[in-house]
Structure 1
Amino acid sequence: MTVTAPSTVDADTPTCRKTRAMTAPVTAALKDATFFPYWLDSPDAPAAEAPLSGKLDCDLAIVGGGFTGLWAAILAKETDPKREVVLIEAERIAHGGSGRPGAIVSTSVMHGLGNAKRIFPRDLDRLEVLGRDNMAGFRRTIAEHGIDCDQEWNGELTVAVGPGGLPVLREEYDLHRAHGHEVELLDETALRGHLRSPIFSGGLWSKRDSGTVHPAKLAWGLKRTARALGVRIYEHSPMGRVEDLGARLRLQAGEGVIEARRALFATNAFAAGHPRIRSRVAMLRDRILMTEPLSPEQMSRIGWANRQGVYDTRTQLNYMRLTRDNRILFGGRLGYYMNAPRDPRPDRGPAPYEGLAEAFLTTFPQLDDIRFTHAWSGPIALTTRMAVHFQSYHGGKGLYAGGYSGFGVSASRFGARIGLARLDGCEDPDLDLEFARTMPAPIPPEPFRYLGARLTLHALDTVDRKGGWRRRWIDLVTRLGIPLS
């Protein structure tokens, strides 16, 4: 029996409702899943801070309590402890996007070395230095402030799905070697010593300065650190209107008002801060499954001796990693909803995850007795750059820093640092590099954005099986600036 692939666009519209014939293993695996992020479903979650009320003044207002906002708050206070910093979050810390990712971290600050070469070939050497410095700072903060985030530094593993993926590995191997990375190319036999799947034909192991973290624990630890440094944090305080008062900005925040000399809009896929931000940023949803903890016998079936974070070479890739208690996180099926709702209702039910569960069982058929405990989606910010960029507003007093299309857990620290430097008018030679002074190309508005996303995501879901017009369409979208293959 086969599985009818679920729609990867708005599944709550009549044209997208489909009758799905699921296999018995998929039905059983999803039967008892909780449709909420595993990372956030924890008794360790800290209590929310009180919402803002009344009026306050500050030097720097940060909008958004995800990774970029938290890192910016910490870096701002470390640079100038006397600076008055206020951070507001629309909901709770980590509940927007930062408590939802796969959280495989690496030195890349531009969505991978291959993407950095694509968009900024002239700055590539410097971006590599900046990436290593960023990871060193990331790890230093975790160590100095005692942040327990289940960190494991076992490297990244890119796996070829079938022989057709092997040239991709060779190209990535050559590129990484040329830029000083410690990498090992694995044939099919060698790969089985790391991870066993009948669909994997080879692998590329990047060994240094990459690994996995628990993203919610990291966000909660950064929140604690920011508060200890003197940052004032207000949750359940959504930003409303922003007014330019000349020397200052006035921000509505829930029931309160902030007047600030500068404001950093750390809103990533939510693209809040100025209406024009959305012209270059589209919110996609990335779906993720989490299994129950594997027994030692189940672990022996798949190997995974070195516990690397893993990406595969499928056109619409899947990624996977282990947690501290040997659950498998498996993600990578994209969706798009008209006008980017904050919490899409269809993603709180099983339909969007059926195809992802089928992909999991195709990847690990030896785990047909496994069950998924959690399934959720998270927002990612699609731009033609697929990496952080900066948009300046209100005469330079306001700055948006965002655009992470994945790979953002560690790169967000870099985005926060560069964003603060631009906002403060620092004399930093890195601000003259192309990545810091340019923006990605505009993306068409709705409804054209929705129609294009619907066609593109359907092509992504089926291109590896059917090819034809789907490959031609993906090639066209890639030529227009969004690299989908």
Structure 2
Amino acid sequence: MADNLSTADRRVFWHDTVVTQPSCPPLAADVKCDLAIVGGGFTGLWTALEARRQRPQDRIILIEQGRCGDGASGRNGGFCAPSISHGVGNALKRWPKEAEALVRLGRVNLDEFEADLGEFGIDAEFERKGKLNVAAKPWQVESLQSWASNYRRFGIDCQILTGDRLREKFDSPVYPAGLYEPNYALLNPGKMVAELRRVALAKSIEIHEGTTASALRVVQGAIELGTAGGIIRARHVVLATNAAPPLLSRLRNAIIPIFDYALVTRPLDNDELASIGWTGRHGVADCGNQFHYVRKTADNRILWGGFDAIYHFGSRRDEVFLRQSQSLARLAKNFATALPALAHVPFTHAWGGIIDTSARTTFFAGLACGDRVAYAMGFTGQGVSASRFAALTVLDLLGKRDSERTRLAMLRRPPFPFPPEPIRWLSIRWAQRGLAREDETGRRSLLNKALDTLGVGFDS
């Protein structure tokens, strides 16, 4: 296993699938615009494109501190969910009165997401081939039954699979049962963000990469963003900075940076894939608190990610953490255990990413600075599709439009703030230890039960 990992490049596989385009120049002068967007990932780029639809004549400027997609948007697994609420169960647990609306809006959002790909001519290797949720322990099998019941309550197609029917989709000695949901998509996140960037530039959206916003202030009824190259003066601003330290002080305790890791194998041949029963194009995820997400790439590599969710004291975001972690060896070991027929297969890529985690595991949005600044963050690893919905939401908020999106309790109520250090680090450690024990025993800790009561969760 160590040898299988030792030759893996510490770089993101998705970046190798994208033809590199020239960088957009950094901001080099003071400018004025109608809308300024801070952040060049999924949320920022979707916001730019939706704003262009709504206001064709507006001057829209997007700034990104690195290159668009170098952050979480280009580093994730590419799971594109029919959900804006981190799943049906989370919607029922946290917002039972509007769960039906949340489920419906999530499914509509995925339909519209796919339609937008067609309208914009975006080739992101989008495949709507479903997802298989697998269970390792008896109590997790019971959880799948509960999931299926909730799915059927809302008319979501699903099937419980065991025995030969499960082995036909994913044959592993670790997982005795699975729940298959056909309405789920996968895409190449590297290509997705590159294509959104391409379309944005084609629609005369001005992008300045290598440009960091260092200050935000209200000046004479407008918003000024300070950067090293100049000041942006805008009527409205959208903050789409994901897990980066927020510009608004009120948001600094609303999210924490969680590090997540992934491995990718060399391409597998048909016999190797048949040895694990995985001849379809669906994605796979296990249903533990510490869970793996698994999928095929376009050239039949296996991406194996997740399990650990690592928080560093003081909300550190050191660059070295993206390349070095004991989690990579742990992932390789878990891969060999779950798929022993492929234990010999080497990994070619290994990398980490940062998840902007909120205490309720869903994104939140709001307004600040006299309703001239809107923000959306806290996607907790579920932003590939939800980022589009978030973009529409922040534009509704800035436009003072009364929409079904802006009326959602999920978005009207801010998430529970994380406590200061060292209480933050200790509470996260205790909660995660309790979740790991729950995976082994099926019993939830008293601390996590108390956090459930407060609407706080770390179990995803």
TM-score computed with the length of structure 1 as normaliser: 0.90
Q: In the aligned structure 2, how far is the partner of 1:446 from the partner of 1:477?
A: 18
Q: In the aligned structure 2, how far is the partner of 1:339 from the partner of 1:235?
A: 28
Partner of 2:235: 261
1:177 aligns with 2:181: no
Q: In the aligned structure 2, how far is the partner of 1:41 from the partner of 1:336?
A: 28
Contact 1:160–1:313 under 8 Å retained in 2: yes
Q: Which amino acid in structure 1 is aligned with residue 394 of structure 2? A: G
Q: In the aligned structure 1, how far is the partner of 2:169 from the partner of 2:279?
A: 5
Q: In the aligned structure 1, how far is the partner of 2:256 from the partner of 2:218?
A: 26
1:365 aligns with 2:375: no
1:424 aligns with 2:374: no
Q: In the aligned structure 2, how far is the partner of 1:201 from the partner of 1:279?
A: 40
Structure 1, residues 121-172: CA drift from partner, whole Å, max 9, x if none? 1112222232222112211121122211111111111111133311111111
Which stretch of the first structure deviates more once superposed, 132-141 or 62-71? Answer: 132-141
Q: Which amino acid in structure 1 is aligned with residue 457 of structure 2? A: P
Contact 1:88–1:253 under 8 Å retained in 2: no
Secondary structure in structure 1 of the residue aligned to 2:405: helix
Candidates 93, 102, 109, aligned match of 1:134:
109
Q: Which amino acid in structure 2 is aligned with residue 228 of structure 1? A: A
Contact 2:17–2:191 under 8 Å retained in 1: no
Candidates 179, 185, 200, aligned match of 1:226:
200
Contact 1:51–1:254 under 8 Å retained in 2: no
Contact 1:277–1:391 under 8 Å retained in 2: no
Q: In the aligned structure 1, how far is the partner of 2:327 from the partner of 2:166?
A: 31
Contact 1:185–1:205 under 8 Å retained in 2: yes
> Shift of residue 350 of structure 1?
5.2
Partner of 1:301: 275
Partner of 1:286: 260
Contact 1:477–1:484 under 8 Å retained in 2: no
> Shift of residue 43 of structure 1?
5.4
1:79 aligns with 2:54: yes
Partner of 2:289: 315
Q: Which amino acid in structure 1 is aligned with residue 193 of structure 2? A: A
Which stretch of the first structure deviates more once superposed, 101-110 or 391-400? Answer: 391-400
1:65 aligns with 2:40: yes
Secondary structure in structure 2 of the residue aligned to 1:40: helix
Contact 2:366–2:411 under 8 Å retained in 1: no
Contact 2:139–2:442 under 8 Å retained in 1: no
Q: In the aligned structure 2, how far is the partner of 1:140 from the partner of 1:116?
A: 25
Q: In the aligned structure 2, how far is the partner of 1:354 from the partner of 1:459?
A: 23
Contact 2:322–2:353 under 8 Å retained in 1: no
Which stretch of the first structure deviates more once superposed, 352-361 or 97-106? Answer: 352-361
Q: 1:281/1:346 Cα in 2 relative to 1: closer, same or farther (>3 Å)?
A: closer
Q: In the aligned structure 2, how far is the partner of 1:341 from the partner of 1:48?
A: 28
> Shift of residue 463 of structure 1?
4.8
Q: 1:423/1:300 Cα in 2 relative to 1: closer, same or farther (>3 Å)?
A: same
> Shift of residue 267 of structure 1?
1.1
Secondary structure in structure 2 of the residue aligned to 1:134: helix
> Shift of residue 217 of structure 1?
0.2
Q: In the aligned structure 2, how far is the partner of 1:278 from the partner of 1:214?
A: 30
Partner of 1:89: 64
CA RMSD of aligned residues (A): 1.8
Partner of 1:353: 328
> Shift of residue 189 of structure 1?
2.7
Candidates 133, 139, 143, aligned match of 1:168:
143
Q: Which amino acid in structure 2 is aligned with residue 249 of structure 1? A: I
1:205 aligns with 2:180: yes
Secondary structure in structure 2 of the residue aligned to 1:39: helix
Q: Which runs of 5+ in 2 are unaligned?
A: none
Q: In the aligned structure 2, how far is the partner of 1:133 from the partner of 1:446?
A: 40
Equivalent pairs counted in the alignment come to 458
Q: In the aligned structure 2, how far is the partner of 1:383 from the partner of 1:144?
A: 32
Calculate percent identity across the aligned residue pairs: 34
Q: Which amino acid in structure 2 is aligned with residue 189 of structure 1? A: D
Structure 1, residues 31-65: CA drift from partner, whole Å, max 9, x if none? 11111211123451322211011111111110000
Q: In the aligned structure 2, how far is the partner of 1:337 from the partner of 1:199?
A: 30
Contact 1:60–1:86 under 8 Å retained in 2: yes
Q: In the aligned structure 2, how far is the partner of 1:265 from the partner of 1:304?
A: 41
Q: Which runs of 5+ in 1 are unaligned?
A: 1-25
Partner of 2:246: 272
Secondary structure in structure 1 of the residue aligned to 2:176: strand
Candidates 151, 167, 186, aligned match of 2:161:
186
1:411 aligns with 2:386: yes
Contact 1:63–1:88 under 8 Å retained in 2: yes
Q: In the aligned structure 1, how far is the partner of 2:403 from the partner of 2:380?
A: 26
Q: In the aligned structure 1, how far is the partner of 2:159 from the partner of 2:320?
A: 43
Contact 1:54–1:256 under 8 Å retained in 2: yes
Q: 1:466/1:168 Cα in 2 relative to 1: closer, same or farther (>3 Å)?
A: closer
Q: In the aligned structure 1, how far is the partner of 2:258 from the partner of 2:442?
A: 23
Secondary structure in structure 2 of the residue aligned to 1:255: coil
1:111 aligns with 2:86: yes
Which stretch of the first structure deviates more once superposed, 117-126 or 344-353? Answer: 344-353
1:363-402 → structure 2 map (5 Å cutoff)? 363-402=338-377
> Shift of residue 343 of structure 1?
4.0
> Shift of residue 340 of structure 1?
3.1
